[in-house]
């Protein structure tokens, strides 16, 4: 991957399911270390866009580059540069937290796997629960373990699709701290969420996707929640 290139580039990406146009020409660039929150109503295309960037789905037309590399030409190895947390946590319920990380670590040939698994489990606050099966975990614990799995191979890009769904405020606050910790490593993070306040507090830049197009793109740190609520209402009324 080129050090000089942006970490994520999306160029005129369109996605159609039959006659239904989900994405209608998306242009988006994320710099190294940038944290971006993607907002939008249900059906706006947020998950579809994340799936295309994560190589789990293919665009109908357009181009995605990760670190300057076209994902269409990179093969499966490009996924080593990605950590993904989706609606499905991609964890094995009957395995312990430790066993889950051991399995995924072996897939990615993680060096010093035991030490690395311990490190990420401590970072997400699950070290003392490492020998318990995932089926006994709360929703918040599952999400923290999913993040541990996503960063286990130390990817420069982290994609999180509504990681706070179903979490109470205490669990969401803990998740925010985990994201801040993993973001400190200089990772580029793109997350989707329906929760405006959480998204604004997690990210330095806010996007609004509606009707298959990015309707708003701007810095978020200077915005109050009330200001952004008005911006959100204005741009989600557009179809």
Q: Which residues of 156-193 are buried (b: 16+ CB within 10 A; e: fewer)?
A: bbbbbbbbbeebeeebbebbeebbeebbeeebbbbbbb
Angle between helices 113-123 and 97-107 (to 10 degrees): 130
> What pLDDT digit, counting tens, does each position of 116-142 carry?
999 999 988 899 999 999 999 998 899
In 10 A of CB 153, how many CB atoms? 21
> What pLDDT digit, counting tens, does each position of 175-200 carry?
788 777 776 678 899 999 999 998 99
To which CATH superfamily is domain 8-87+156-236 assigned?
A: P-loop containing nucleotide triphosphate hydrolases (3.40.50.300)
Residue 221's pLDDT band, with cuts at 50, 70 and 90, is: confident
List the chain domain ranges: 8-87+156-236
Residue 224's pLDDT band, with cuts at 50, 70 and 90, is: very high
Question: Span 103-109, mean pLDDT?
Answer: 94
Q: Identify the residue with better confidence: 1 or 12.
A: 12
């Amino acid at each position: 991957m080129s050090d000089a290139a942006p970490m994520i580039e999306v160029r005129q990406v369109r996605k159609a399911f039959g006659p239904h146009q989900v994405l209608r020409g998306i242009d988006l660039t994320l710099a190294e270390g940038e944290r971006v929150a993607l907002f939008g109503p249900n059906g706006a295309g947020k998950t579809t866009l994340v799936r295309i960037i994560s190589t789990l789905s293919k665009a109908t037309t357009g181009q995605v580059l990760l670190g300057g590399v076209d994902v269409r030409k990179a093969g499966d190895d490009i996924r080593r540069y990605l950590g993904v947390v989706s609606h499905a946590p991609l964890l094995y319920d009957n395995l312990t937290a430790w066993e889950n990380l051991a399995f995924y670590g072996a897939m990615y040939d993680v060096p010093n796997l035991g030490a690395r698994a311990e490190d990420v489990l401590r970072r997400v606050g699950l070290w003392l629960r490492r020998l318990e099966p995932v089926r006994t975990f709360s929703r918040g614990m599952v999400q923290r373990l999913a993040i541990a799995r996503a960063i286990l191979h130390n990817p420069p890009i982290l994609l999180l699709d509504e990681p706070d769904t179903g979490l109470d405020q205490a669990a969401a606050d803990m998740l925010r701290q985990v994201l801040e910790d993993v973001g400190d490593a200089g990772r580029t993070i793109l997350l989707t969420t329906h929760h405006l306040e959480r998204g604004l507090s997690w990210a330095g830049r806010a996007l609004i996707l509606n009707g298959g197009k990015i309707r708003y793109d701007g810095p978020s740190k200077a915005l109050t929640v009330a200001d952004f609520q008005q911006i959100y209402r204005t741009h989600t009324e557009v179809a």
